[in-house]
Amino acid sequence: MVTPRLLRVTERMEQPGLDTSELLLALETLAGVNRRFGATRLVLRHLAALDDGSPTPLSLLDVGTGYADIPRDVARWARRRGRPVRITALDRHAGTLALAGRACADYPEIRVRQGDALRLPFPAQSFDVVLASQILHHMEGADAVQLLRELARVASRAVLVHDLRRGAWPQLVTWAALRLVSRSSVIRHDGPMSIRRGYVPAEMLDLAREAGWRSPRLTRHAFFRLALLEVAP
């Protein structure tokens, strides 16, 4: 059953003043959830399909990077393949970025940068691939469209946006699963709320078209994940 979107709410991880130790536990927990429940696998599968094997380093921008766990997984994937990459991990939260920067200390391929997803501080077509993982549900209306427009503006080859699908069953399963696997009260609170704030396939496609994407493709993945892809002609 499709439920109405939950609007005008703030998840705990978005709120200022979150204790650093609590924030770190939440970020580490979310990184584990991404690896165990399909987010990382989804990204790597799409990157493998997009990779043309060129010796030129693949440039990637991860918008709303959080703990930069997906950029680190991409860097390890690229190392295994002998594929040079340059990754920019962008987030607007200084405290989160400080923790991400420490986590990326052994990853010279990754540059951590602060910036606004709705006004990306880069010229047009600055990156081969632009990625946004589970941030679309944080946006409503014009902001959601502006996010997708900005992602497409700075990408030269492809944009990949993935997020969680809204629905009563996804919400129930997420609530139960996080109580089993998560030690973080922040993640146990925010996970089901993220589902309630999420979009369904038709809504995501409508947003992409309104943002000017020419041929958006949407695919469904395990654990209630949706992937929205735009590839340059």
pLDDT per residue over 144-155, tens digit each?
A: 999 999 999 999
Q: Which pLDDT score is estimated for 12? A: 73
120: amino acid identity, one letter: L
Looking at the predicted structure, is the pLDDT value of residue 16 above 80?
no
In-domain check, residue 188: no
In-domain check, residue 130: yes
In-domain check, residue 118: yes
* Structural domains in the chain (count): 1
Q: What percent of the chain has pLDDT over 70?
A: 97
Q: Which residue has the higher pLDDT, 105 or 181?
A: 105
Enclosing domain of residue 174: 22-183+205-231
CATH number at residue 226: 3.40.50.150
In-domain check, residue 50: yes
Looking at the predicted structure, is the pLDDT value of residue 15 above 80?
no
In-domain check, residue 79: yes
CA 85, 221, 8: angle at the middle one, nearest 5? Answer: 90
In-domain check, residue 6: no
Q: What percent of the chain has pLDDT over 90?
A: 71
Task: Choose the weakest-confidence range: 43-47, 54-58, 90-94, 167-171.
Answer: 167-171
Looking at the predicted structure, is the pLDDT value of residue 86 above 90?
yes
Q: Which pLDDT score is estimated for 35? A: 92
Q: What confidence tens digit (pLDDT) does each residue in 115-156 have?
A: 999 999 999 999 999 999 999 999 999 999 999 999 999 999
- Per-residue pLDDT band at 45 (split at 50, 70, 90): very high
Looking at the predicted structure, is the pLDDT value of residue 21 above 80?
yes
Q: Which pLDDT score is estimated for 4? A: 75
Q: Which pLDDT score is estimated for 1? A: 58
CA 27, 31, 32: angle at the middle one, nearest 5? Answer: 120
Q: Which pLDDT score is estimated for 191? A: 80
Looking at the predicted structure, is the pLDDT value of residue 204 above 90?
yes
Q: What confidence tens digit (pLDDT) does each residue in 167-199 have?
A: 887 888 888 888 887 888 888 888 888 889 999
- Mean pLDDT for 201-216 is 97
Q: Which pLDDT score is estimated for 8? A: 67
pTM, 2 dp? 0.92
Q: What are the Cα distances from residue 179, in Å, to 13, 86, 176, 192?
A: 17, 36, 5, 11
Task: Choose the weakest-confidence range: 94-98, 170-174, 212-216.
Answer: 170-174
Q: What is the mean pLDDT of the chain?
A: 92
In-domain check, residue 189: no
In-domain check, residue 17: no
